[in-house]
């Protein structure tokens, strides 16, 4: 893990402009004051202890390198503490049945809440969580979801309480680096350029460096935070690690990350999305952990019939998207066959790695019966069975995302490992077709 311990300069910049904007904007919501003097590297005192922070101080702070990171110099009242975390976790379990299964009322819930309350919270980390809760409530809720699911997965494996707390700590803190990304960028519905994507791909570095500052968190937590977007098949980021190169806690965190992402407030039918995700990408996740998720899915209540009937997209639209996706996947295989003989060995290796994911997507369509000959029958069956209509809707939406991710992965891997050979015209055309299909609908 030398990468996490020796980050690039961008990864160690706690005082990024976005972070300072978030901090100074936070001062407009509740009091934020300096707990000690803020001093630059030249020894000049910029702010005395007890100064209230507001948006007017952003330019002053961003223009200096400080002797201590800014979050080590600030306090706010009230701050996130053990009681706040327990309250947030219990409220989440009460409101969302899937997470409630991780802590059913009684002894188990008490144990889970104890674990959440035992997560170490050095003052700067408590400040960051307070900042997230006030300015990015969705991020804070996601952090609590991750803490619960990570603790649950470890408990399912028979681990003692202190290991549950270690896993919950990694889950709670894995995304702290997102505070260094402009919130407007995260909220944008437009496709992001390469430069705009870079902070997103950097956030595991930044998050791990936030955590590494504090001896209260074991090295395995720092490493897992760095790895939380890595996947066993090597298709993750930021380093494209694969297999045994990812730590056990990193594997757990990456599975928990994709599961909890399905419960984003903007997503419909999260249970079906999780089930489909695990079936679509079995090689990406630790096979020893996945059964725990399936047990939660089986125990969770299914969608109500009226929810299925009132879904946002019509069944006809879902089938139209599925048909277009099937045609694109056929076009992918045609492009691969046409270009493979002209490629160098490194370029062929890149194409082979990406083709595995495309093959998985096509197999999901075949298993669902998505062929021109079957569409009429699917329309009839789904009209008679609302739950099946939901499955098709979820399949269309998830394939929509996965096709875009596959095209992006092709670009990323090709640039990194194809030995300088240009991406063939047929594959460039395919990537462009994917971009048109996955544009916001």
292 and 361, same domain (yes or no) = no
> Which of 19, 46, 76 lies at the terminal end of a domain, its last residue?
76
What percent of the chain stands above pLDDT 90? 46
> Which of 45, 76, 107 lies at the terminal end of a domain, its last residue?
76
Q: Is residue 30 part of a domain?
A: yes
Q: Are 11 and 172 in contact (CB under 8 A)?
A: no
336 and 386, same domain (yes or no) = yes
pLDDT at 1: 39
Look at residue 324 and tell me whether its pLDDT is greater than 60: yes
Q: Are 389 and 311 in contact (CB under 8 A)?
A: yes
pLDDT at 9: 34
In degrees, rounded to 5, the angle at the alpha carbon of residue 211 between the alpha carbons of residues 286 and 159 is 40
Lowest mean pLDDT across 57-66, 78-87, 366-375, 387-396: 366-375
The domain total for the chain is 3
40 and 139, same domain (yes or no) = no
Q: Are 30 and 54 in contact (CB under 8 A)?
A: no
183 and 293, same domain (yes or no) = yes
275 and 161, same domain (yes or no) = yes
> Which of 60, 76, 92 lies at the terminal end of a domain, its last residue?
76
257 and 128, same domain (yes or no) = yes
203 and 292, same domain (yes or no) = yes
Q: How confident is the model at residue 198 (pLDDT cuts 50, 70, 90)?
A: confident
Name the range with the highest mean pLDDT among 128-132, 182-186, 269-273: 128-132
- Distance of alpha carbon 376 from alpha carbon 3, whole angstroms: 53
- Among 340, 325, 335, 323, CA closest to 428: 335
- Distance of alpha carbon 115 from alpha carbon 118, whole angstroms: 5
Q: Is residue 304 part of a domain?
A: no
- Distance of alpha carbon 140 from alpha carbon 134, whole angstroms: 9
> For residue 276, what is the domain's CATH number?
1.10.3210.10
pLDDT at 387: 64
227 and 373, same domain (yes or no) = no
188 and 277, same domain (yes or no) = yes
322 and 276, same domain (yes or no) = no
Q: What is the largest CA-CA distance in the chain?
A: 75
pTM for this entry: 0.77
Q: How confident is the model at residue 375 (pLDDT cuts 50, 70, 90)?
A: low
202 and 340, same domain (yes or no) = no
- Among 305, 312, 317, CA closest to 388: 305
For residue range 219-275, list pLDDT tens digits in order: 999 999 999 999 998 888 999 899 999 999 999 999 999 999 989 877 777 888 888
For residue range 263-322, list pLDDT tens digits in order: 987 777 788 888 878 877 788 899 999 999 999 998 988 655 444 444 434 667 777 788
What's the domain range around 329?
309-437
- Among 226, 192, 223, 187, CA closest to 206: 226
334 and 382, same domain (yes or no) = yes
- Distance of alpha carbon 103 from alpha carbon 146, whole angstroms: 14
């Amino acid at each position: 893990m030398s990468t996490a311990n020796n980050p690039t300069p961008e990864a160690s910049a706690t005082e990024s402009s976005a972070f300072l904007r978030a901090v100074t904007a936070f001062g407009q919501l509740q009091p934020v004051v300096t707990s000690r003097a803020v001093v630059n590297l030249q020894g000049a005192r910029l702010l005395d202890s007890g100064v209230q922070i507001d948006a007017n101080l952003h330019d002053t702070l961003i223009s200096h390198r400080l002797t201590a990171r800014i979050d080590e110099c600030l306090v706010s009242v009230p701050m996130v503490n053990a009681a706040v975390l327990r309250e947030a976790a219990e409220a989440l379990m009460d409101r969302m049945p899937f997470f409630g299964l991780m802590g059913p009322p009684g002894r188990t819930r008490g144990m889970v809440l104890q674990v959440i309350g035992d997560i170490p919270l050095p003052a700067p980390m408590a400040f960051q969580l307070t900042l997230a809760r006030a300015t990015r409530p969705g991020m804070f809720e996601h952090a609590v979801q991750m803490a619960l699911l990570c603790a649950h997965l470890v408990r399912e494996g028979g681990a003692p309480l202190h290991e549950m707390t270690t896993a919950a700590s990694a889950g709670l803190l894995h995304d702290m680096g997102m505070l260094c990304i402009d919130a407007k960028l995260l909220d944008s519905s437009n496709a992001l350029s390469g430069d705009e994507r870079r902070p997103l791909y950097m956030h595991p570095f930044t998050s791990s460096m936030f955590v590494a500052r504090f001896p209260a968190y074991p090295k395995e937590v720092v490493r897992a935070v760095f790895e939380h977007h890595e996947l066993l098949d090597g298709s993750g980021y930021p380093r494209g690690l694969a297999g045994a190169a990812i730590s056990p806690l990193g594997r757990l965190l990456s599975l928990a990350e994709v599961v909890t992402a399905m419960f984003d407030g903007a997503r419909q039918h999260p249970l079906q999305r999780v089930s489909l995700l695990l079936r679509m990408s079995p090689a990406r996740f630790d096979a020893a952990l996945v059964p725990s998720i399936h047990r939660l899915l089986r125990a969770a209540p299914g969608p109500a019939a009226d929810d299925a009937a009132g879904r946002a997209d019509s069944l006809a639209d879902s089938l139209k998207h599925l048909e277009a996706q099937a045609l694109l996947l056929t076009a992918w295989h045609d492009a691969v066959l046409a270009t493979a003989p002209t490629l160098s060995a490194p370029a062929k290796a890149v194409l082979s790695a990406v083709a595995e994911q495309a093959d998985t997507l096509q197999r999901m369509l075949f298993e669902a019966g998505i062929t021109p000959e079957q569409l009429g029958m699917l329309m009839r069956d789904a009209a008679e069975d609302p739950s099946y209509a939901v499955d098709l809707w979820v399949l269309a939406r998830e394939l929509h995302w996965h096709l875009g991710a596959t095209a992006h992965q092709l670009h990323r891997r090709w640039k990194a490992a194809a030995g300088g050979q240009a991406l063939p015209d047929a594959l460039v055309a395919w990537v462009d077709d994917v971009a048109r299909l996955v544009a916001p609908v």
